[in-house]
Amino acid sequence: MNSPQLDKVFAGSIPRLYDEYLVPLIFDPFAIDLAARVGACAPARVLEIAAGTGALTRRLATVLPADVALIATDLNQPMLDQAAASGTARPVEFRQADAMKLPFPDAAFDVVVCQFGAMFFPDKAQAYGEARRVLRPGGTFLFNVWDRIEDNVVTDVATAALATLFPDDPPRFMARTPHGYHDLAAIRRDLAAGGFTATPRTETLTATSRAASARIAAIALCQGTPLRSEIEARGADRLAEATDVAEAALARAFGAGPVEGRIQAHVVMVGR
């Protein structure tokens, strides 16, 4: 019942819960890092792909000068709607777009950036080829991906807990997709297949995942991601139970108060 088709479903209440709970839990530290890297490129035009609910977009809108054009795209319109509703420090163009077939002319941007979206591309090489196509010569493609689930302890604890609730068919979304594209050699091969000839620069970063309570962390993971769809596919009434099980496991691992755990990701930069 682990269905890759469900991995891209960000609808219903997921965008709101994702933005409210998951972004502070795991996304913010890496958004700060990636936005600083984009700013250091001193771009005039920036395209963000797979922008989700705008965790990186908001940071970019703060870091980049007001005269820098910033376009944030995502395949899922409900995620972009949430990003627009959350707001940015200055105007941003939000536009629905498929990273596999970007609706922009060749050489239109100085930087293409993607935060934790590459794992969802059905054909990574094709998506990378599109990023390269819309970059000007000398431009930069930057993105990050999660490292192994074992190096991201809050998510790992919750995933293991759900396996005890559904032992015959454990929900594996988090391990399969968000944490399923961590092999740097594979990433380099996909970039080369997408037409990038420069050697990518990579860096592995470790940060701290934080939530005010185990309950909030459990809601973030079980209800604010497509993991929710996997849980509900096992029974429409199982979501609350699954959230409770994840919460109990997180409380055992991190205590009754705030949750803090290691998170780890790879940053990739490659020139056009």
pLDDT band for position 10 (50/70/90)? low
pLDDT at 7 over 50: no
d(Cα 220, Cα 6) in Å, to the nearest integer?
A: 17
pLDDT surpassing 80 at residue 16:
yes
Query: Contact 59/88 with Cβ under 8 angstroms?
Result: no
Q: Which residue has the higher pLDDT, 11 or 203?
A: 203
Asked whether 220 and 210 are in contact (CB, 8 A), the reply is no
Range of the structural domain that residue 20 is part of: 4-271
Q: Which tokens is 92 given?
A: 């941003």
Alpha-carbon Rg for the chain in angstroms: 18
Q: Show Cβ contacts of residue 255 under 8 Å, excluding neighbours closer than 6 positions.
A: none
pLDDT, tens only, 22-81: 999 999 999 999 999 999 999 999 999 999 999 999 999 999 999 999 999 999 999 999
Longest dimension (CA), the chain: 55
CATH number reported for the structural domain that contains residue 63 in this entry: 3.40.50.150
pLDDT at 227: 96
Neighbours of 92 (CB within 10 A): 23
Domain count, the chain: 1
